[in-house]
């Protein structure tokens, strides 16, 4: 009996943007910017005829359409952050959920998204059943 197999594919993108955090008791309440790094992880169980779960170029292309909406913008003006502060947590959730709508299929699903606001601080978002 064959063991179940899962492949995790990772790719990284970057974007720059500005934001401010309403209600935050510190410097982040002021306008400031980040050079964000995004790591997208998708998973699949089956390989196609070429031997891939999904082409990295396709993952990156779909993710880039979302990242391009955020790149060199003031995040507080983006429709996704009209009622939620554009925190790293909320940005990660927005990118994950938007990308999942674009790529999820029977063959591949979003697994997790990690967003770094700098070299030391990151948040990882995934949707789980627990």
Q: One of 28, 69, 78, 89 is an active-site residue; which one?
A: 28
Q: Reply yes or no on whether 126 is catalytic.
A: no
| 59: its two tokens | 């993952």
Report the b/e string of 38-53 with b at 16+ CB within 10 A: bbbbbebeeeeeeeeb
| Sequence-separated (6 or more) residues with CB below 8 Å from residue 88 | 115, 117, 121, 122, 123
Q: Reply yes or no on whether 28 is catalytic.
A: yes
The distance from CA 27 to its chain's CA centroid, rounded to whole angstroms, is: 25
Helix (H) or strand (E) holding 74: strand 73-74
Q: One of 34, 62, 111, 117 is an active-site residue; which one?
A: 117
Q: Reply yes or no on whether 72 is catalytic.
A: yes
Asked if 126 and 112 count as a contact pair (C-beta separation under 8 A), the reply is: yes
Q: One of 22, 32, 72, 126 is an active-site residue; which one?
A: 72
So which residues are the catalytic ones? 28, 72, 117
């Amino acid at each position: 009996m064959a063991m179940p197999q899962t492949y995790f594919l990772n790719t990284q993108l970057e974007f720059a943007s500005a934001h401010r955090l309403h209600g935050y008791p510190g410097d982040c309440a002021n306008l400031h910017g980040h050079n964000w790094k995004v790591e997208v992880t998708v998973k699949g169980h089956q390989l196609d005829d070429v031997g891939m779960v999904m082409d990295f170029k396709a993952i990156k292309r779909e993710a880039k359409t979302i990242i391009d909406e955020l790149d060199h913008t003031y995040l507080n003006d983006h429709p996704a952050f009209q009622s939620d502060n554009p925190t790293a947590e909320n940005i990660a959730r927005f990118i994950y959920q938007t990308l999942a709508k674009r790529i999820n299929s029977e063959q591949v699903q979003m697994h997790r998204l990690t967003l770094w606001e700098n070299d030391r601080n990151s948040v990882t978002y995934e949707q789980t059943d627990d």
